[in-house]
Chains A and B, each alone.
Chain A
Amino acid sequence: MKTSEVVVEMKSRFGHGIIRDRECCGQSTVGVEKHHLIEILSYLKASPAGFEVLMDLTGVDYIEPIVGTVVVYWLHNPSNYQRIRITVLAKRDEEIPSVVRLWRGADWYERELFDLFGVRFEGHPDLKRILMPDDWKGHPLRKDYPLTEEPVAFKHGAKPKIPSEIIHVRRKQKYPV
């Protein structure tokens, strides 16, 4: 089945669980509620939808308009090479169901999300840090975590702004997902 047909089928089946659905550059994105996440992903994994492979599991962090991390699942169908993106929002200190029982390989991806974004997964066998040292405080890829650059020392007392000071100027952040 093509992705567009799958999206239509999903909306008719899980109408209450689907928050948004949009398309950009030929790729469909469907935003779902976290309580229906496992149900929807299991439906997509089984035939006839057939998205049997989870190609990527990542997150995008926002601090406005909502403070939270959008977890992105990028699914791949190995028989007709169609792809679909499922997103679910996890606010700070909220837990999302883990997909390790559907795809064993999601284990390390979820650990990486916990390490870098602070998203907790319920049902994960061993949620601990993977990229940062075990006693690191904070979650680096959150938008309110500074880049922590070392300021460059200039002569004659000059103190130009470091890049992250220039960037974290309040500007309207658009919320595409």
Chain B
Amino acid sequence: MSKVSDDLRLESTGDIMELNLGPQHPSTHGVLRIKLKLEGEVVISCEPVIGYLHTGIEKECESRTYFQVFPLIDRLDYLSGPAEEQVYAMTVESLMKVDVPERAQIIRLIILELARIASHLVWAGTSALELNMSSVYMYCFAEREKILDIFEGFSGARMFPNSWRIGGLAYDLNPGFEEQVRNFLEHFPDMWKDLDNLLTNNYVWCERLQGVAVINKELCKQYMLTGPVIRAAGDPYDIRKIYPYLGYDTYQFDIPTKTEGDAYARYLIRMEEMKQSASILEQALGRLKPGPVITDNRKVALPPRKELVHSMEAVIHQFKLVSEGIRPPVGDVYCCVESARGELGMYLVSDEGPRPHRLRVRSPSFPNIEILKEILPGHIISDVVVAIASLDPILGDVDR
């Protein structure tokens, strides 16, 4: 049910009602407010209002040293915290020209792909919950708990690992990590099949999602949309293939695309992406070899504690790093990764001080909400919920 049929239009009386889909709402995926103007059930115009979660993270990052920024930016896109850490670490590493050892790259990739699967599971669960299918929500969150257990074993925290450092990782894998991931990958295809059986050919799901919120390539260009939205419109735009990082160009995986550009196409793409992530994980696990997890460059990374006993230089490096931090050279750089929502980028301007001069987060969800004012008019009000859900916005990223 896409644009409303002529019968419904004929019934309208011409009165316009203003409805406020307020910031506190069960179905707006966060604190998003939409001012709707309705004629009967048809949306005439809408104005999204954001800012209810504005945290001032960008200003706060200008008052923190480069190490202290990690826990702040983690909490921006709170469903895929590792992606934020990766893009920040990548930005500083490319400005300072620091190399990351191979083992650290593979571990980072494993955690990123696990976070992508977790994020898509939350998306699937909450979208289905909004359409009143609460058993899908239970299935998805139960599966996500296994991923959070893996994160907890590795870093101690469920959602925000906070273990990225400039030049690598803070610590190595815990014993039992590989076994946990292999266990998860063994049972994941069955769970994926369950989800597929529940939703893909479900009559109610198809009727509610097909034809809703169609976004074509031209709209994507005007509104700088990325991620599953642009892939559903037909453009195979994925940062992992175009500007590869962490060695993604050496892995075999496909980029699913569709041409219809509606909510159902985006759903199919996200399901397929979960499968592709699982296959990338299998390949990555096979490549793990023993080695260092952080760079040797002592101007950037803390020395290992055993060295402090017999090396004076290690003590001096440790002192300088802990008291002063790092000082990247003057310059500016933009780096991006493919998060679960699209192109997540960071623009760092450095003035050779111990704190960033400006850290700008290019969030993928900001244009996703902006486009609502263009695609929602013409739909009926129950499609508003489906449209927002299919775009998968995270308000922490939008408001920063």
Interface residues of A (CB under 8 A from B): 24-25, 27, 29, 52-56, 58, 60-61, 72, 74, 76, 78, 81, 83, 85, 103-105, 107-109, 129-133, 140-141, 145, 147, 163-164, 167, 171, 173-174, 176-177
Residues of chain B in range 220-256 having any CB-CB distance to chain A below 8 Å: 221-224, 235, 237, 242-243
Q: In the complex, are the beta carbons of B347 and A58 less than 8 A apart?
A: yes
A65 to B357, CA, bound (A): 14
Q: In the complex, are the beta carbons of B345 and A60 less than 8 A apart?
A: no
Query: Which residues on A sit within 8 Å (CB–CB) of B221?
Result: 52-53, 78
Residues of chain B in range 280-312 having any CB-CB distance to chain A below 8 Å: none
Number of A-B contacts (CB under 8 A): 103
The residue of chain A having its C-beta at the shortest distance from the C-beta of B400 within the complex is: A131
Chosen A-B contacts, 16 in total, with CB atoms closer than 8 Å, are: A25-B95, A27-B333, A27-B334, A55-B224, A60-B332, A131-B50, A131-B400, A147-B56, A163-B64, A167-B62, A167-B63, A167-B355, A173-B351, A174-B351, A176-B349, A176-B350
Neighbour of B366 across the interface among A108, A132, A140, A147, CB < 8 A:
A108
Known A55-B343, A174-B351; judge A132-B63 contact (CB<8 A). no
Query: Which residues on B sit within 8 Å (CB–CB) of A53?
Result: 221, 224
How distant is A94 from chain B, measured CB to nearest CB, in Å?
19
Interface residues of B (CB under 8 A from A): 50-51, 54, 56, 58-60, 62-64, 94-95, 221-224, 235, 237, 242-243, 330-334, 343, 345, 347, 349-353, 355, 357-358, 360, 362, 366-367, 370-371, 374, 399-400
Neighbour of A24 across the interface among B223, B332, B358, CB < 8 A:
B332
A83 to B349, CA, bound (A): 17
How distant is B3 from chain A, measured CB to nearest CB, in Å?
21
How distant is B236 from chain A, measured CB to nearest CB, in Å?
11
How distant is B263 from chain A, measured CB to nearest CB, in Å?
20
The residue of chain B having its C-beta at the shortest distance from the C-beta of A85 within the complex is: B334
Known A78-B237, A177-B332; judge A60-B355 contact (CB<8 A). no
